[in-house]
Amino acid sequence: MIRRLLVANRGEIARRVFATCRRLGIETVAVHSDADAGLPFVAEADYAVRLPGNAPTDTYLRIDLVVEAALKAGADAIHPGYGFLSENADFARAVEAAGLTWIGPPPYAIEAMGDKERAKEIAEKAGVPVLFAPTEPTAADLPLLVKASAGGGGRGMRVVRTLDQLNAEIAAASAEAESAFGDGTVFVEPYVEHGRHVEVQVVCDVHETGLTLGTRDCSVQRRHQKVVEEAPAPWLPSHVAEEMEDAAGRLAHAVGYVGAGTVEFLYDPTSERFFFLEMNTRLQVEHPVTELVTGIDLVGLQIAVAEGRDLPGCHTDGVTPAPDRMTSGSGHAVEVRLYAEDAAYVPQSGRLVTFELPAYVQLGPLAGAGVRVDSGFASGDDVSTFYDAMLAKVMAWAPTREQAIRMLVAALRRARIHGVVTNRDQLVEILTDPVFVAGDMTTTWLESRPTPAESPADSSASARIAVIAGALMLAAGDAARRTVQQGVPVGWRNVPSQPQRTTFEGCAPVEWWGTRDGLVVDGVTVLEVSPTHARLEVDGVATETRGHWSVDRPGAPRELWVDGPAMSARLREVPRFTDPADAVASGSLLAPMPGTVVDVITEAGAEVGAGDVVLVLEAMKMQHTVTAPHAGTVTDIHVEPGTQVAAGEVLAVVEGGFEARSARTSTTESERTVP
């Protein structure tokens, strides 16, 4: 029996495992880097051990330090979570060699499935359909997909559409794989466009028996990063689902699998054929949707298997579908990944001033239809540049898919998230898109959609109300701070010649009048306003908005967040007068995010064309190529490899353009959390 368990991970997955441990009466141990010392998962653990440093290679990827921490804290078991060392066979062996219980599959299974080429061979022998690329590919074989052999979930993955790109993409994928997994081995396979990503959850015990727990659809992806997951896979023919579960069971049995794992397939809806992609020998990021439709605690099953107990409902003839009593009345579950990133998918960092997500339950089972949130952060926490940018997983369960989607959309819209830009609005747009609602999404669908405009720069009515409310809150704040003429209405003039004007970045100006009766905006009735609240009426419909000041200090551009019933807007005031000292040289490339310079491609004096790579930044476990926004001459390079830069810092100067701008970037890392 496991008495004290260490989670070799961080954030929401550590909290998720701790939640099950509390229900089972198991004590918990957290390991943490310096940057993570103040996060909730550390506070929630019974014991915590510091791993000095911040970089993953110095902390969460150090096998020796993690095992030493477990022994020091008196733990008798280690759960790896996902990512980091979760699919590292050497780590599993080190845990067992230290006399600790490893909550995961045996090392031989990790190695067999971790080598993607070997995994394909095993799958083929087990009668599972697979895809193989030709040894010497030609143009007829395009497109191709380069994948990391030792990794999973998209890291080190590249789509190749022309043969002249192949060698360069293999080299880039290998470099990413080496950085992420310590193994730069990659392989090439055919790339099937417009397919669907469907996977099967398996759990096996030590008696060579196990269960398959239905399907999940993870087709909504951006750069091979899963964005939305749901269970069961919608509109999947029942006979295909049965064949997939059977294939997953055969593969798990063939490799002698023990514990929880996921077999991933590429499904072609046109031909109703599917092909083996890979097996993830760990808990998936999207495991909660399976928990919600089956009522099964997958972490609890992992612990039970590690303790040598039998799985409930298992037969004696291998890995079989779970009995009906475990999946009856399953309904539907949908999950989204809430990231700290902007509308262009650039990771963000900073302080989460407010982080409130409406949920009926945190990190656990639902008693009925509702919303569950698995979060790694709380209000006041800092999002660092060292790790993944995922803040939380928000999911909903309901009897039908339509109801689950509606509940999830409502929860996202009601969320209050201030201080860091997130992809919340993009998630709402995806969930309400007719293609998604109809269940017609494919793995390339999200890439084909136009990049949504960053709110509140769009022209929607709710966005405009938020902008007007923000302008009036600023005016009310000015009035509240006055030390003279406090009885005079804000903005009031005895003989007004023109309205007052407030402008926010990316938004149309708001013109308003200060009268004896209060603030007036054409087309809007101002019912109530204060520095943190506004109630406005348009065409007889009143809207309540709340404001939270992010920046409100003399000399700095003021910034506030405005929350309404259907959206949240981050508003940054454009100052009426600018300080010449704040200007930067024309043609300056500004860092789009905090990060570390890992490579400088060009040098001062070099000629570059529009789109040419100038340097490479690494932030939040992803690499971003910084390119020249226009043709010209590189007149100055301000950084070198290893330089830590802040957002907005000048990286280089390319003369030939007309203004300083944030550097264009292309995210080359394709998966954040190795789902």
pLDDT tens digit sequence for 589-624? 888 777 889 899 988 889 998 888 999 888 766 677
Greater confidence, 325 or 549? Answer: 549
Residue pLDDT, tens place only, 49-99: 999 999 999 999 999 999 999 999 999 999 999 999 999 999 999 999 999
Segment 115-161, tens digit of pLDDT: 888 999 999 999 999 987 777 788 777 788 887 766 655 666 788 88
Domains 4-103 and 134-190 share a fold: no
pLDDT of residue 326: 52
CA 517 from chain centre, in angstroms, equals: 48
Cα gap 184→178, rounded to integer Å: 4
Distance, in Å, from the CA atom of 241 to the CA atom of 218, rounded to the nearest integer, reads 15
- For residue 223 the two structure tokens come to 């750069």
Looking at the chain, the whole-number percentage of residues with pLDDT higher than 70 is 88
Instruction: Kindly state the DSSP code that residue 455 receives in the 8-state scheme.
Output: T
**Looking at the domain 4-103, which fold is it?**
Rossmann fold (3.40.50)
- Residue 264 token pair: 């991933």
Q: Who has greater pLDDT, 181 or 248?
A: 248
Statement: residue 327 has pLDDT above 60? no
Residue in the block written with tokens 């009031």: 492
Six token digits for residue 311: 């799985």
Share of the chain above pLDDT 90, in %: 55
Check: CB of residue 430 under 8 Å from CB of residue 377.
no
Please report where in the chains the tokens 């982080």 appear, as a residue. Answer: 355
Cα separation, 556 vs 474, whole angstroms: 14
Cα–Cα distance for residue pair 206/625, rounded to 1 Å: 46
pLDDT of the residue at 182: 67
Q: Which superfamily is assigned to 134-190 in CATH?
A: ATP-grasp fold, A domain (3.30.1490.20)
Q: What is the CATH number of domain 580-667?
A: 2.40.50.100
The identity of residue 125, as a single letter, is: K
Strands 390-398 and 607-608: unpaired
Q: What are phi and psi of 567, to 5 degrees?
A: -165, 165
Radius of gyration of the chain (CA): 27
Given CA atoms 505, 511, 513, 517 in this order, what sign does their dihedral have?
Answer: negative
Domain boundaries, the chain: 4-103, 134-190, 193-448, 461-566, 580-667
278 is catalytic: yes
Q: Would you say 89 and 114 are in contact if contact means Cβ atoms under 8 Å apart?
A: yes
Which position among 245, 278, 335, 341 bears the catalytic label? 278
DSSP letter, residue 100: P
Mean model confidence pLDDT for the chain: 87
Q: What is the pLDDT of residue 399?
A: 95
Q: Please tell me the pTM assigned to this model.
A: 0.82
The CA-based dihedral angle spanning residues 290, 293, 296, 299, taken in that order and rounded to the nearest 10 degrees: 30
The pLDDT of residue 405 is above 90? yes
Strands 361-362, 27-32: parallel, antiparallel or unpaired by DSSP?
A: unpaired
Q: Which residue carries 């008798």 as its tokens?
A: 76
How far is Cα 502 from Cα 647, in angstroms, rounded to an integer?
26
- For residue 490 the two structure tokens come to 């804000």
Integer Cα distance of 593 and 338 in angstroms: 18
> Across residues 654-664, what is the average pLDDT?
58
Q: Which CATH architecture has domain 193-448?
A: 2-Layer Sandwich (3.30)
